[in-house]
Chains A and B, each alone.
Chain A
Amino acid sequence: MTDALLKVEDLKVAYGGIHAVKGINLEVKQGELVALIGANGAGKSTTLKTLVGMVKPTAGSITFNGENTARLAPYHYVDRGLVLVPEGRGVFPRLTVEENLQMGAHTRNDKGAIASDMARVYDLFPRLKERRLQLAGTLSGGEQQMVAIGRAIMSRPKLLLLDEPSMGLAPIIVQKIFEIIRMIAAEGVTMLLVEQNAKLALETADRGYVMESGKITLADDAKVLLANEAIQKAYLGE
């Protein structure tokens, strides 16, 4: 396939002597919601961090929107539309909700569009609108996740990378976050979603990859993966 928005080929990443990602291939097409699932320590976060330059690959290639984006400095990715909502959210704790959202639009110049995007984020997260002047560090975990996602939307991503948005959240909040993820997907934002909550991720996604100790072991339509017995045993607790 040549029309992939993101194409990763034979990507290898190591931390000193530890090989965290051992030669993976994956791709995300325009408009898709792709899930990357796997156990703790499989290398999912490392993969996402490598995609936005926070970690440098040891081998392999990353092509985003037709451009080789491996090894750029981390601040070059937002402009290209590659935006990560990191594990643990990475909000600015001592800035207000609104200031956090504005930071997402830091590299943009289109004032009017920024204002309308802000309004859209507040539509998606009415909760944030109520708390727009509260310091982000004083929000609950779920609200911080909303800030992190909202801030990413403010960057107008072409590909949104989400690292375990459900982590540490109460089930009802997780449902809410995934509802939002589906809404954003419906608006046409392409997403690569990393989750340990495999069931929910595969129910939400179009396609899925399964990662085990640094390698991709399975890749298929999300529905097919959901029906796969081995996956049900290993990840879906059935």
Chain B
Amino acid sequence: MNFAFMKTRHGKAITYAVLAVILALLPWMLTGGFENGKSWVRAVDFALLYIMLALGLNIVVGYAGLLDLGYIAFYAVGAYVYALLNSPHLAAILPAWLIGPNFIVMLVVAAVFAGMFGVMLGTPVLKLRGDYLAIVTLGFGEIIRIFLNNLDRPVNITNGPQGINNIDKVHFLDIDFGRPMEWLGLTFDMVHLYYYLILAFCIFIIFVTLRLQHSRIGRAWVALREDEIAANAMGINIRNVKLLAFAMGASFGGVSGALFASFQGFVSPESFVLMESIMVLCMVVLGGMGHIPGVILGAIIVSITPEILRDVINPLQEGIFGRRVVDPENLRMLIFGLAMIIIMLLRPEGLWPSKRRAREFHEHDEEAQA
């Protein structure tokens, strides 16, 4: 494909403008175009949350080269922090001023909390790499989930496996994101309102990761990923730079988790299982580790495909066999697994890799041609 036009300044402006219009209209195209349009908008809302998660994990895995299999723990921390401060569950115990804080304050708290957990994970694993690091982070993710599952005794903090209910929707700029709103002759439902809210934060996070990539800290992460000893010799404080990667990645997860909790209105430990960590990692790897557009693409594909399958496979099965033969949920994992294998065999660098990564994987092809 030729993207040359899009690289000119004029072309860039046009591309962004088109993109902005599409993004602004997307939920209306979905609700207008499909019978079950609202559930599609909901799916897109979740896709946006996953993009935020994938971009956060991309900092740790893609930029700093630290394999993390417990990333969903930070999503959980953000979600529970929001849930506990914005639901009746602890309202009787906590001082009143703590309950239902300002939304932006709330997100900062979620980010800081998750970031602290990131440092907590990062500190003991400073000397670990590769497979050892993967195992420890996996354990960390499970520990967090098990804590959430069991911290209902002796004092009921997390409400255990039942999870926390009746979480307040976001109230911000005089808008109640839980209630339908009339504007410009359109009815904005909860899913629409949240679409724009999550999209705003998603764009913010994309902006931050882009800036990070070309900053001094971004270059330090690259050096760290490529060779720790050499990076040290360049004057880079490995310990701080690693902890910063864990903390930054985790805080993105925390913000995403807080938005998730308010959107869903309910959280329980079940949402934060190992499979979720693996899914987010798949988004990063499948899309193109370290490359923001690739990671976004990966997150969209991995989170939206199951929704499409659900809508396509059932009618298809009923059409062919007259009844449902396979549960779409099972089929989803089968197809997903196969797709992962095929893509990793054919395009190990991911669907939309950075030039650098594509080059690493195809250096030999170039030599062969030369």
Using a CB–CB cutoff of 8 Å, the interface residues on chain A facing chain B are 52, 54, 73-79, 83-84, 86, 90-95, 99, 102-104, 106-107, 135, 138, 155
Residue from B223, B227, B229, B234 within 8 A of A78 (CB atoms): B234
Seed contacts A52-B233, A75-B234; 14 additional CB < 8 Å A-B pairs: A54-B229, A75-B237, A75-B238, A78-B233, A83-B233, A84-B233, A92-B223, A92-B227, A95-B222, A103-B230, A106-B219, A106-B235, A138-B367, A155-B235
Which residue on A lies nearest to B241, using beta carbons? A75
With contact pairs A102-B219, A106-B216 given, residues A75 and B232 touching in the complex (Cβ less than 8 Å): yes
Residue of B234, B237, B359, B360 ringed by the most chain A CB atoms within 10 A: B234
Query: Would you list which residues of chain B between 188 and 243 have a CB under 8 Å from chain A?
Result: 216, 219-220, 222-223, 226-227, 229-230, 232-238
B63 to chain A, nearest CB (A): 14
A186 to chain B, nearest CB (A): 25
Question: Contact at A74–B233, with CB atoms within 8 Å?
Answer: yes
Residue of B219, B235, B359 ringed by the most chain A CB atoms within 10 A: B235
Tell me whether B174 is interfacial, beta carbon within 8 Å.
Answer: no
Residue from A73, A106, A155 within 8 A of B223 (CB atoms): A106
B92 to chain A, nearest CB (A): 50
Q: Given the complex, which residues of A lie within 8 Å of B360, measured CB to CB?
A: 94, 135
Q: Bound state CA distance, A90 and B226, in angstroms?
A: 11
Question: Contact at A107–B234, with CB atoms within 8 Å?
Answer: yes
Tell me whether B363 is interfacial, beta carbon within 8 Å.
Answer: yes
Q: Is the interface of B mostly helix, strand, loop or mixed?
A: helix
A sample of 14 inter-chain contacts (CB < 8 A) reads: A52-B233, A74-B232, A74-B233, A75-B233, A75-B236, A75-B238, A90-B233, A94-B226, A99-B222, A103-B234, A106-B216, A106-B234, A135-B363, A138-B367
Using a CB–CB cutoff of 8 Å, the interface residues on chain B facing chain A are 216, 219-220, 222-223, 226-227, 229-230, 232-238, 356, 359-360, 363, 367
Which residue on B lies nearest to A95, using beta carbons? B226
Q: Given the complex, which residues of A lie within 8 Å of B237, measured CB to CB?
A: 73, 75
Residue of A74, A83, A86 ringed by the most chain B CB atoms within 10 A: A74
Residue of A54, A102, A103 ringed by the most chain B CB atoms within 10 A: A103
A194 to chain B, nearest CB (A): 16
Which residue on A lies nearest to B366, using beta carbons? A138
Residue of A54, A73, A77, A106 ringed by the most chain B CB atoms within 10 A: A106
Q: Bound state CA distance, A56 and B367, in angstroms?
A: 43
Question: Contact at A93–B220, with CB atoms within 8 Å?
Answer: no
Which residue on A lies nearest to B356, using beta carbons? A94
Residue from A79, A94, A102, A138 within 8 A of B235 (CB atoms): A79
The 8 closest A-B pairs by CB, nearest first: A78-B235, A107-B235, A74-B232, A92-B226, A106-B234, A90-B230, A75-B237, A103-B234
B304 to chain A, nearest CB (A): 32
